[in-house]
Amino acid sequence: MAYDTNLVLYTSGSSTLTTTATGTAIDFGAPDHQALTYDLNVPCLTSGSGTITATLLGGSTSALCTNTFADFEVLDSAGMSSTSGSLVHVTAKTPYQWRKVVLTVAADAVAFGSATLPVTVTPTQGGRYDKF
């Protein structure tokens, strides 16, 4: 999946996601004028079972990114394997210029993603077409 690397809210890089993690605050340049869709991509489950809860936070500066403006659905590892994962979306309009994500992992000995398939949270390029 292609995405703008300047707007990556979180990536597990060459590691797996095993515990709660907070992404770096990113300056989006301005508040939203239209709703923006964000993707939580969990390409595989390396081991264990559990859930991920992702919360998008915003603020007027990077230090003030504490206001929740959207929550992804809780992502359960059921049905995931070393060769299949899950992609979920959330669409939100925020008055905040700065944004970050907090990923909360609930489980023991669970590992989402892999060294070559990182867990990522990014804006959806081109949005999502849902006006049928």
Residue 130: inside a domain, yes or no? no
49-68 pLDDT tens trace: 999 999 999 999 999 999 99
12-49 pLDDT tens trace: 999 999 999 999 999 999 999 888 999 999 999 999 99
Q: Is 96 in contact with 69 (CB distance < 8 Å)?
A: yes
Domain count, the chain: 1
CA distance 43 to 45: 7
Residue 16: inside a domain, yes or no? yes
CA angle 39/129/9 to nearest 5° reads 20
Residue 100: inside a domain, yes or no? yes
Q: 127 in the Ramachandran plot: left (φ > 0), alpha (ψ -120 to 50) or beta?
A: left
What does pLDDT average to over the chain? Answer: 89
